[in-house]
């Protein structure tokens, strides 16, 4: 399955809404194992995306993902801005000449996260949500359960990357805020494409 511009724009718009609505939730998750500002940071990114779209409507998929990437890089503090930015920038480059299957598109983003964060699946980062989603999309098995299972599984991991890794064993039992904001991203996608 591929996503065309009109639905891809809806996807990002819904993500923006979820970030704005859940700012406090993300901050609370981040207070437990991080700096406590993931929601505030992501909300700034959401506002920047909306402002960029209002200024100039994206003309194609590459433009849409690139605009999203730069808004994140410029406005989201901490590691999340560069990470989300890299994922969307890589996705933007990947669709420049030809639209990709969704599973392949999210894999491009996942690979960008791994490269930028020098991390991998199982380290209690947003990759723990991106990778299962990418795989499920490739197998036509993407649904809410995939997102929920990924979050639950990552909750029980001990963080070995990022700020949460300082807590070692104490990071276990907490949801990684980047994983939760990624869950909002893919729940938004699900709303657009359906199960």
**Residue recorded with tokens 């929601």:** 39
Average confidence score pLDDT of the chain: 96
Mean pLDDT of 141-145: 98
Query: What pLDDT is attached to residue 195?
Result: 64
- Is pLDDT at 161 greater than 90 in this prediction? no
Cα–Cα distance, 92 to 100 (Å, whole number): 11
Cα–Cα distance, 99 to 92 (Å, whole number): 10
Nearest Cα to Cα of residue 173 among 29, 12, 41, 58: 29
The model scores a pTM over 0.85: yes
- In order of start, what are the domains of the chain with their CATH numbers? 5-193 (1.25.40.340)
Cα–Cα distance, 31 to 177 (Å, whole number): 9
Per residue in 63-106, pLDDT (tens digit) is: 999 999 999 999 998 899 999 999 999 999 999 999 999 999 99
Q: What percent of the chain lies above the pLDDT cut of 90? A: 93
CA angle (44 as vertex; 175, 54 as ends), nearest 5: 130
Cα–Cα distance, 129 to 139 (Å, whole number): 16
Per residue in 163-191, pLDDT (tens digit) is: 888 888 988 999 999 999 999 999 999 99
Asked whether the beta carbons of 61 and 8 are under 8 A apart, the reply is yes
């Amino acid at each position: 399955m591929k996503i065309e511009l009109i639905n891809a724009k809806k996807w990002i718009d819904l993500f923006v809404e979820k970030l704005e609505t859940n700012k406090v939730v993300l901050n609370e998750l981040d207070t437990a194992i991080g700096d406590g500002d993931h929601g505030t940071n992501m909300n700034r990114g959401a506002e920047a995306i909306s402002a960029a779209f209002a200024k100039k409507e994206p003309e194609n998929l590459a433009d849409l993902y690139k605009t999203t990437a730069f808004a994140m890089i410029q406005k989201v503090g901490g590691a999340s801005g560069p990470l989300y930015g890299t994922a969307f920038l890589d996705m933007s480059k990947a669709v420049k000449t030809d639209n990709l299957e969704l599973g392949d598109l999210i894999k491009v983003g996942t690979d960008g996260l791994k490269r930028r964060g020098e991390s991998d699946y199982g380290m209690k980062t947003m990759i723990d949500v991106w990778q299962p989603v990418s795989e499920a999309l490739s197998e036509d098995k993407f649904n809410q359960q995939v997102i929920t299972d990924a979050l639950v599984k990552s909750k029980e991991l001990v963080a070995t990357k990022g700020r949460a890794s300082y807590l070692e064993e104490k990071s276990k039992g907490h949801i990684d805020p980047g994983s939760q904001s990624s869950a909002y991203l893919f729940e938004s996608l699900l709303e657009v494409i359906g199960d």
